[in-house]
Amino acid sequence: MEQRQIFVHLVLVLFLMVLVRAKPEGGLREEEEADRILELPGQPKVSFQQFSGYVTVNKVAGRALFYWLTEAPQNPLSKPLVIWLNGGPGCSSVAYGASEEIGPFRINKTTSGLYINKFSWNTVANLLFLEAPAGVGFSYSNRSSDLLDTGDRRTAEDSLEFVIQWLERFPRYKNRELYITGESYAGHYVPQLAQEIMTYNTKTKQPINLKGIMVGNAVTDNYYDNLGTVTYWWSHAMISDQTYRQLINTCDFHRQKESDECESLYSYAMDQEFGNIDQYNIYAPPCNNSDGTTSPTRHTMRFPHRPHPGFRQLSGYDPCTEKYAEIYYNRPDVQKALHANTTGISYKWTACNDVLNRNWNDTDVSILPIYRELMARGIRVWVFSGDVDSVVPVTATRYALAQLKLSTKIAWYPWYVKNQVGGWTEVYEGLTFATVRGAGHEVPLFKPRAALQLFKSFLAGKPLPKS
Ligand SMILES: *[C@@H]1O[C@H](CO)[C@@H](O)[C@H](O)[C@H]1NC(C)=O
Ligand SMILES: *[C@@H]1O[C@H](CO)[C@@H](O)[C@H](O)[C@H]1NC(C)=O
Ligand SMILES: *[C@@H]1O[C@H](CO)[C@@H](O)[C@H](O)[C@H]1NC(C)=O
Ligand SMILES: *[C@@H]1O[C@H](CO)[C@@H](O)[C@H](O)[C@H]1NC(C)=O
Ligand SMILES: *[C@@H]1O[C@H](CO)[C@@H](O)[C@H](O)[C@H]1NC(C)=O
């Protein structure tokens, strides 16, 4: 070929390359626009953008995870991306995180409308609520057996795939600072997803800019969680000295399945000694049923004495909020506005999926090794604890964290929010621990102002205010 011809060819090839590159990007923006939420039924006017929809995480099985992004009203482009996960396992971050805890909207009593949560975390970050794993909320699998064998492993793998695919759909978030947060059984999901991302980052040219994780009332370590839980019951006068002593002497605390003798002691404690309290906030009144009775506090739990935020009465400002969510999110007009349930899922939307929970396949016995790994890689790790939760109580978290044997950077001190003690905190080498005074299991529900302060300090990477 002549030089001229070669040159023409080169130009052509370059032109084609530009075309090929341009096309998917245009397509991506369309995909993003298709996910835009124009307005939710009963929603007040807002100045931030919202998107929601599905991301396919497994084509063979037909698994798709549902997300809801609520951006920051001011300068969203300069604010980080924060993923929020709820636990269960099997509970929805749309039901809890978005609608009762950190999201911009709360559902009103008549479930005909929404009102603004002025302590929403989207005032300082772009919030990405993810319903995980498939089977939770609007997230689904076309392979029905997936509901019977999902566990920590698949949840982590699918969540990583979600993050990768989601960033393709929203390229403006690539390279953005990413934080992963959550509570309760998400004490597993959050560090496990962080670990998946760290591993992925070693194999890719486009690493995900993960900066930190924060978990609250987090399931951390089977043994220390169980030991710390019965200790909390005793120290908060929920059980007798005798029951406490017997539990300590009889139960193994390591195992998933305890001996019959131990189980009957747990039953005695809960049925004969607790009374009808809300275990998720021991000082709050429970939600009344319409007939005037309150629901029993005991619920079926696959894990012995494990948090299971479904099937209970919630308390706090309004202990009935999750009932509102189950009405609101099952409305066809709400689902349409959210681009949810587009394939006609065969069962109703529920705050928690009990089938997933009962059949949970695999669970890490301790998350502490992952904490060590993340700290070693310079990932910011914050752990907080609402101190009136008896399900994953503050004593459980303190026993577990003590096993890390971290050196103290800033000694224990009270932290403040609006001139009041918000809780106590200690800063360790690599990890910050903070309690939230008077908060139950869902800290941002019970103490929204304190929770927002905690979130701001976490994002800034600064110790909580000393006054
Ligand atoms: C699940 O099946 C429905 C109906 O066949 C299909 O429209 C949908 O795309 C499938 N979902 C996934 C994630 O493959
Ligand atoms: C709930 O929201 C709807 C729509 O905004 C409104 O008409 C209704 O008055 C609200 N109800 C309550 C109890 O706040
Ligand atoms: C439940 O009923 C009791 C007695 O009527 C009442 O004092 C309490 O405030 C009710 N709780 C809620 C959350 O409505
Ligand atoms: C999905 O929509 C169908 C109607 O097409 C409805 O029967 C079902 O309850 C919905 N499921 C969820 C999870 O929203
Ligand atoms: C179920 O758990 C076992 C380990 O306990 C694991 O080998 C297997 O891969 C898990 N199954 C799925 C579907 O993740």
Dump the DSSP string for 5-61: HHHHHHHHHHHHHHHHHHHHHHHHHHHHHHTB----TTPPP-SS-EEEEEEEEETTT
**Best CA proximity match to 308, nearest among 319, 320, 316, 300:** 300
Tokens of 308: 């299971």
Quote the pLDDT of residue 305.
Answer: 41
Ligand 2 atom with minimal separation from the 114 CA: 2
Task: Give the residue among 162, 163, 155, 112 at the shortest CA–CA distance from 364.
Answer: 155
Q: Whose CA is nearest to atom 14 of ligand 1?
A: 62
Kindly provide the b/e burial profile for residues 26-54, where b requires at least 16 CB atoms within 10 angstroms of the residue's own CB: eeeeeebeebebeebbbbeebebebbbbb
d(CA 233, CA 395): 10
pLDDT the model gives residue 284? 84
Q: Which residues line ligand 3 (CB under 6 A)?
A: 285, 287-288, 319
Cα of 321 to ligand 1 centre, how many Å? 32
| pLDDT (0 to 100) of residue 15 | 62
Q: What atom of ligand 3 comes closest to residue 292's alpha carbon?
A: 2
Q: Specify the DSSP element, H or E, that contains 213.
A: strand 210-216
What are the tokens at 312? 């209970």
Q: Ligand 3 center to residue 287 CA distance, Å?
A: 7
Counting ligands in written order, the one closest to the CA of 340 is 4
CA-closest residue to ligand 5 atom 5: 362
Name the residue at shortest CA distance from atom 3 of ligand 3. 288
Say which ligand is closest to the CA of 338: 4
Predicted model pTM? 0.90
Q: What is the residue with the minimal CA distance to atom 1 of ligand 2?
A: 113
Q: For residue 44, give every residue at least 6 positions away whose Cβ sits within 8 Å of its Cβ, in sequence order, or none.
A: 113, 114, 115, 116
Residue nearest to atom 13 of ligand 1 (CA): 62
Ligand 4 atom at shortest distance from the alpha carbon of 335: 14
110, 333, 334: residue to mutate for ligand 2 pocket, most atoms within 8 A of CB: 110
Please tell me the number of the ligand nearest to residue 154's CA: 5
State the pLDDT at residue 33: 94
290 burial level (CB within 10 Å; 0-12, 13-18, 19+): exposed
Burial classification of residue 94, based on how many CB atoms lie within 10 Å of its CB (0-12 exposed, 13-18 middle, 19 or more buried):
buried
Residue 366 φ then ψ, to 5°: -150, 140
pLDDT value at position 10? Answer: 64
What are the pocket residues of ligand 2 if the criterion is a CB atom closer than 6 Å to any ligand atom?
Answer: 42, 108-110, 112-113
Give the distance (Å) from ligand 5 centre to CA of residue 362: 6
Q: For residues 448 and 292, is the Cβ–Cβ distance under 8 A? A: no
C-alpha–C-alpha distance, residues 103 and 354, integer Å: 24
Q: Whose CA is nearest to atom 8 of ligand 4?
A: 348
The minimum-distance atom of ligand 1 relative to the CA of 56 is 13
Distance from C-alpha of 241 to C-alpha of 44, rounded to nearest angstrom: 52
Relative to the CA of 346, which ligand 4 atom is closest? 8
Quote the pLDDT of residue 291. 53
- Beta strands at 431-436 and 420-428: parallel, antiparallel or unpaired: antiparallel
Tokens linked to 325: 């969510």
Among 109, 278, 288, say which to mutate for ligand 3: greatest number of ligand atoms within 8 Å of CB.
Answer: 288
Q: Is the Cβ atom of 175 under 6 angstroms away from ligand 1?
A: no
Q: Is 168 exposed, middle or buried, given 0-12, 13-18 or 19+ CB atoms closer than 10 A?
A: middle
Return the closest-CA partner of residue 66 out of 51, 55, 81: 55
Separation of CA 141 and ligand 5 centre (Å): 17
The residues assigned a catalytic role are 184, 389, 441
- What's the pLDDT at 178? 98
For atom 12 of ligand 1, the residue with the nearest CA is 62
Nearest atom within ligand 5 for CA of residue 361: 1
Task: For the chain, 467 residues long, give each residue's pLDDT as a single digit of tens.
Answer: 556 666 667 666 666 555 545 444 455 588 899 999 999 999 999 999 999 999 999 999 999 999 999 999 999 999 999 999 999 899 999 999 999 999 999 999 888 999 999 999 999 999 999 999 999 999 999 999 999 999 999 999 999 999 999 999 999 999 999 999 999 999 999 999 999 999 999 999 999 999 999 999 999 999 999 999 999 999 999 999 999 999 999 999 987 778 999 999 999 999 999 988 888 899 987 666 655 555 433 232 334 344 333 333 333 345 566 688 999 999 999 999 999 999 999 999 999 998 999 999 999 999 999 999 999 999 999 999 999 999 999 999 999 999 999 999 999 999 999 999 999 999 999 999 999 999 999 999 999 999 999 999 999 999 999 99
User: What residues pair up with 129 in beta bridges, in sequence order?
Assistant: 68, 84
